[in-house]
Amino acid sequence: MIETERPPRLRGSIFAKLLAIMLAMSFALVLMVVGFFALVVYPSTVLGAERVVEDYSRAISATSPDRQAAISISRRLGVQIRYEGPDGVWTTAEGLPSIGQVQRGEVGSPFGHTYHVVPGRNGGTYLFAWKFAERMRAAHNKLLWLLLFLMMGIVFTAYLFQKRLLRPVQSLDGGVQQLSAGIWTLFFP
């Protein structure tokens, strides 16, 4: 009688159980990190940054910059500025909405510019369009991907160590399987 080799049982093996536990823990850890970023890090930093940007917008409008000064500020800080008032209407970037459109809520995006309408000293009104929230979101996304990549590296390294450390147990399991198969055929041919 020719005996064929049976494939190792994966369902009952220690290796498979430890791998399943490791994958479940990894998934839980990924959910915790993503949840932490979504519920704690991003909202708290955006709220704090919005306050700073609003204060900075007020400080800039208090100096009543003209168009040339606003262009210089715009280049340095990455902010777009629009002015409407007694000194005329000008903007540092094409496509910037009017102050009335922003005040009526006709424009605005939670993932685009953050608009701040601030009165100037000379009776005019300034509109500041900051990309700070967009930049912060991009930085948080990069950090999140870095953490996820590092976690996957740790999981893969743990998998390799687990596989190496369980080799003796796997060979012992294989020997027990062969022994039990031999005893089984000895008593029940």
Tens digit of pLDDT at every position of the chain (189 positions): 455 555 555 556 777 787 788 888 888 888 888 888 788 877 777 777 778 888 888 999 998 899 999 999 999 988 899 999 998 999 998 888 888 888 888 876 554 567 889 998 888 999 998 877 677 778 878 888 888 888 888 888 888 887 788 777 777 777 777 777 776 666 666
CA-CA distance, 8 to 79, in Å (whole number)? Answer: 64
- Residue spans of the domains in the chain: they are 14-180
Q: What is the DSSP track for 131-158? A: -HHHHHHHHHHHHHHHHHHHHHHHHHHH
CB contact at 8 A, 128 and 63: no
Say what the pTM is: 0.57
Comparing C-alpha atoms, which of 158, 126, 122, 154 is closest to residue 60?
Answer: 126
